[in-house]
Structure 1
Amino acid sequence: MPDDFLIARNPEEGSTLPYLVRIPIGPRGIVLKVRDTWPGATKVYCHRADEWPADPEIVETLPVKSVSKRGAAIDLVVDRARKSRSQFVITQARGREMIFWQSRQTAKQARPNVALPTARAHGSVLDIVVDTGERYAWNFGHQQANVEKRKLKVGDYGVFDGDELIASIERKSMGDLASSLLSGKLNYGLAEMSELFRAAVVVEAPYSQAFKQEHASGASLAEAVAEAQIRFPNVPIVFCDNRSLAQEWSYRWLGAALHEYGQRKGTDAVVATMAEGPEASPKQIREWATTQGLDVPERGRIPKAIRAAWEQRNG
């Protein structure tokens, strides 16, 4: 069992941080000066202390259930019914170290408190295919969707038009994004995804978490994300605040992609049935080629390359 979590009065006269805490982590623990004895609705500002006093005036002794370091944070759980969980967050601001002590209540205020909609995506119940290799998959239980598991050629979630995969989403945690991008593995997946009508990578974390990874440089990861977006601009990397919002965004996006594909497919079919204009005369093609700087003979047969360029001039 860890040592107790100790709260004592700061013997330093005139200090704006009137308390000391000793966090039982490491061989000797960590000592901080703090503004209050426990965080409530707001964060408690902390600062490094020089040492734990030889004869401290103890304010409170709290048995510890667990204490662990996770990235730039120390998670602390004390053994009591209320106000048992808290976290010390170490960060940088204006070039200097900042330490904040926050509770679950404080952290909750930083999360978006939103009620997810239940309306159908573009008025339809979506048929979503989940790749068989996807672990801890979204079940879209909050959304109106039919979910089927089968192997996808690319991505983790997809929608089909008949047998054709129209749109696909690759789901990532921030840690998975970091490892797959920095190793170069994800670039191969992005190349495959870019061949679809629509594709996206969805991260179950805010962008700010990219700079809080324990085993990856924030700058390196940010550079890798930027490079991937420049290299594959048609496969956006979307950062959502949490798992629920990532699932909601993906549901709406898949519905929109399938709707857009249907709209375009329908439009193409309609255009194909429309009457075509008159065939261009050789004179018209020669005049157009001249304006484009193409070398075309004044007489005789128009070269195939010139005629092909004319036919493709409008895409």
Structure 2
Amino acid sequence: MAEAIGLGLLAAYGGGMPQDFLIARNPEEGTTLPFLLRIPLGPDGIVLKAKDTWPRTSKVYCHRAVGWPAQPDLVESVPVRSCVRRGAAIDLVLGRGRENRSQFVLTRIRGGREAIFWQTARTAKQARPAATLPTARAAGVVDLPILVDSHERYAWNFSHQQASTTTRGLPAGDYAVEWDGQVVAAVERKSLPDLVQTLTGGKMRYLLAALADLPRAAVVVEDKYSRVFALERVRPAVVADGLAECHARFPSVPILFCETRALAQEWTYRFLAASVQEAADEAGGTSRLADISPATPPSAAQVRAWAQEQGYAVSPRGRIAAEVMAAFERRHQ
């Protein structure tokens, strides 16, 4: 199994006391994985590159590193109570009161490429919220064109929703929609650590001011509000007060906690779709994205009549071809 996965892992330490779990800064320049982890398994340990120092709000993506540096820039060294390989996972228990139990899961992703995810019981549960996302498109929208800011890293692709994306520089926000060539709504996406850093670093006020210049805007956080009060590296009251001040100063830009990445993306899609419809109504016209209301679906006779007018060959009875239905839905674009 170890050879198949390719990490050369061992099921035990091979004698002696467990070593420390080490976290250091990654000396590579321009990397998106700024930390190195050394898991005390095997004679030389297992060295991984990681995106964060602990899976606090979501799973942390890791990738194998060439080796541990001779003079590491250590961030943390924590005694290990237990480190055991169980199948395709490594269970790690640290010798401290909090943030002490985690697991490294080895898997294969698209194309057979190896991937390693560092998770805790909390983040594993959060990745599977007790909610099923709807597959129905937003009311009145056939295919929502969403603009994605060119500086957005790990951008949403809205593959679950009926939307298409285009990347370009945005004046505010990470995701936006236009009406008549003007941005009419934007959404700024934040993870909880990013939100905390933006608040405590003094950048939040400028970010919200830029969003407030738009007709509609919001900030979505990929986490629960209750997680604010579980923060350890900053006083929770400082973050809570900062959020309250933002709401009071910029009431037109709400900050919503959407629990997970998937739910935040779903809310953003529907907010942007509704914003386009509202902009069209304000302009006194009909949205180019307008479609027949889901409450009054078209009849087969209506679709056939339209198709015949457009020169499509349709039978008087039976199922209408998918390409004809798709063309019918696109008729207002």
Task: Place the TM-score, normalised by the shorter chain, in its bin.
Answer: 0.5 to 0.7
Distance 2:240 2:283 in 1: 37
Q: Could you tell me which residue of structure 2 aligns to residue 248 of structure 1?
A: 266
Q: Equivalent of 1:199, from 217, 228, 231?
A: 217
Q: Equivalent of 1:262, from 280, 292, 297?
A: 280
8 A contact 1:201–1:235 mirrored in 2: yes
Alpha-carbon distance, 1:100 to partner: 8.7
Q: Could you tell me which residue of structure 2 aligns to residue 168 of structure 1?
A: 186
8 A contact 1:71–1:212 mirrored in 2: no
| Paired residue type of 2:87 | A
Distance 1:165 1:89 in 2: 52
Q: Could you tell me which residue of structure 2 aligns to residue 144 of structure 1?
A: 162
How many equivalent residue pairs? 212
8 A contact 1:174–1:204 mirrored in 2: yes
8 A contact 1:129–1:159 mirrored in 2: yes
Question: Percent same amino acid at aligned positions?
Answer: 39
8 A contact 2:247–2:255 mirrored in 1: yes
Distance 1:220 1:89 in 2: 29
Q: Is 1:209 matched with 2:193?
A: no
TM-score by length of 2: 0.53
Q: Equivalent of 1:120, from 117, 126, 137?
A: 137
182-191 or 101-110, which deviates more: 101-110
Alpha-carbon distance, 1:170 to partner: 0.7
**Secondary structure of the corresponding residue to residue 266 of structure 1:** coil
Q: Write the deviation string for residues 153-186 of structure 1: whole angstroms up to 9, x where unpaired.
A: 1111100002111000011111111111112212
Alpha-carbon distance, 1:129 to partner: 0.4
Q: Which runs of 5+ in 1 are unaligned?
A: 6-21, 28-61, 91-96, 268-315
Alignment of 1:39-188 (within 5 A): 70=54, 78-81=84-87, 84-85=90-91, 106-107=121-122, 108-109=124-125, 111-124=128-141, 125-188=143-206
**Secondary structure of the corresponding residue to residue 145 of structure 2:** strand
Distance 1:211 1:24 in 2: 32
Q: Give the CA RMSD over aligned residues.
A: 3.9
8 A contact 1:130–1:148 mirrored in 2: yes
TM-score by length of 1: 0.56
Q: Which runs of 5+ in 2 are unaligned?
A: 1-8, 23-40, 58-77, 104-118, 286-333
Q: Which has the larger radius of gyration?
A: 1
Distance 2:194 2:246 in 1: 15
Alpha-carbon distance, 1:87 to partner: 6.5
